[in-house]
């Protein structure tokens, strides 16, 4: 026992634990900041973006890689991007065509003649009074021309209101009568001229422009035999007083020119009679601008409706007063009843002591 115990090795002593390695302090942030600042400085000089990769390599910017494109970062703050108006007939982003330019978009341009209530001048908006930081690009289609066509006279301005100067009496007054015939020249015009010549009567023919252009020989005969001419529009549209100003200008002015051309040099058109009596201040003014008075009537036997010869004759006899203007028709349809009624009325008028006159002017 004692011998074995002596041979046993003594137990190894427990070694003390190694002390923990000290933690190295982190590099100061200032050093990394200086590195980043240096990268940015180099990038600014070379036109490159700031460092963005783990290795610190410099990348070119997207804008530099795509010439002509602009990123939101490259657009200066406070300036508006320029825009281009869509061409005529194309659709914009919203699906609608280009908007009509406002009056402010045409400084100094006058309003189109013939528009009631316009002064001929335009005001400039406050937005245009202040110059923009960037010019806007506008297509030629967005800026209408303001120069009128060479040689084209401006139509007279409109005059809204009610008619006030329509003539319904003879020039001399007293026991006189004026005969007027509408809607020709037509097939009955020659027969009526023959009857008037038989009684030495001078009448007034209110002619449709297109009928005058189609029958110039009859227009020349009317003039040659001493009768007078009256403008009754180009197409006889009704209600005439509801026409737009520009349409009325055409109907009156073009008919006047057609009648004058059909009648030949020296032809005069002294009156204008609105179809259906649709006078208003506007068409009166248009006619006056062409040297024509507005001609109405005081007796209407409605011969155009062909009520029968007795009805036409009796209506004239009942409605006629001294100085009256009788409305009849030589065109626009079958006027055989008118011719037959006139054969009775002419001798009756003479028997009643009437003399024949022209309308007042």
Helix (H) or strand (E) holding 271: strand 269-272
What HEC string does 283-310 produce?
HHHHHHHCCCEEECCCECCCHHHCCCHH
Distance CA 326, CA 209 (A): 21
Closest CA to 205 of 333, 349, 315, 328: 328
> Cβ contacts of residue 332 below 8 Å, gap of 6+?
182, 183, 184, 186, 208, 236, 304
Whether 189 and 218 have beta carbons less than 8 Å apart is answered as: yes
Return the active site residues.
182, 329
Instruction: Count the residues in the chain.
Output: 361
Q: What is the Rg, in whole angstroms, of the alpha carbon atoms belonging to the chain?
A: 48
Closest CA to 219 of 237, 210, 285: 210
> Cβ contacts of residue 234 below 8 Å, gap of 6+?
208, 209, 210, 250, 251, 254, 255, 258
Whether 219 and 263 have beta carbons less than 8 Å apart is answered as: yes
Q: Alpha carbon of 116 to those of 53, 124, 164, 227, 229: distances in Å?
A: 71, 21, 19, 37, 31
């Amino acid at each position: 026992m004692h011998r074995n115990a002596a041979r046993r090795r003594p137990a190894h002593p427990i070694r003390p634990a190694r002390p923990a390695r000290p933690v190295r302090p982190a590099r100061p942030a200032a050093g990394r900041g200086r590195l980043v600042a240096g990268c940015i400085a180099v990038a600014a000089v070379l036109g490159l973006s700031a460092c963005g990769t783990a290795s610190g390599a410099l990348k070119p910017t997207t804008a530099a890689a795509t010439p002509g494109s602009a990123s939101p970062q490259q657009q200066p703050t406070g300036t508006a991007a320029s825009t281009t108006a869509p061409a005529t007939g194309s659709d914009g982003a919203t699906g609608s065509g280009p908007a009509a330019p406002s009056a402010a978009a045409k400084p100094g341009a006058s309003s189109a003649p013939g528009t009631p209530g316009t002064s001929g001048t335009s005001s400039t908006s406050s937005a245009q009074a202040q110059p923009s930081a960037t010019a806007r690009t506008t297509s030629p289609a967005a800026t209408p021309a303001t120069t009128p066509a060479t040689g084209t006279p401006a139509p007279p301005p409109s005059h809204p209101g009610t008619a006030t100067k329509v003539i319904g009496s003879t020039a001399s007054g007293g026991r006189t009568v004026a005969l007027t015939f509408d809607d020709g020249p037509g097939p009955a015009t020659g027969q009526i001229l023959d009857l008037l010549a038989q009684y030495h009567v001078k009448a007034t023919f209110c002619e449709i422009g297109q009928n005058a252009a189609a029958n110039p020989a009859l227009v020349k005969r009317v003039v040659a035999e001493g009768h007078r001419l009256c403008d009754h529009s180009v197409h006889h549209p009704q209600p005439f007083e509801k026409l737009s100003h520009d349409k009325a200008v055409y109907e009156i002015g073009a008919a006047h020119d057609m009648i004058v051309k059909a009648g030949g040099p020296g032809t005069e058109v002294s009156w204008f009679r609105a179809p259906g009596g649709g006078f208003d201040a506007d068409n009166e003014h248009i006619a006056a601008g062409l040297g024509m008075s507005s001609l109405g009537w005081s007796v209407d036997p409605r011969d155009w409706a062909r009520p029968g010869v007795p009805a036409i004759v009796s209506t004239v006899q009942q409605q006629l007063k001294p100085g009256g203007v009788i409305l009849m028709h030589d065109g626009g349809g079958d006027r055989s009843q008118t011719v037959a009624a006139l054969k009775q009325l002419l001798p009756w008028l003479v028997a009643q002591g009437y003399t024949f006159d022209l309308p007042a002017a």
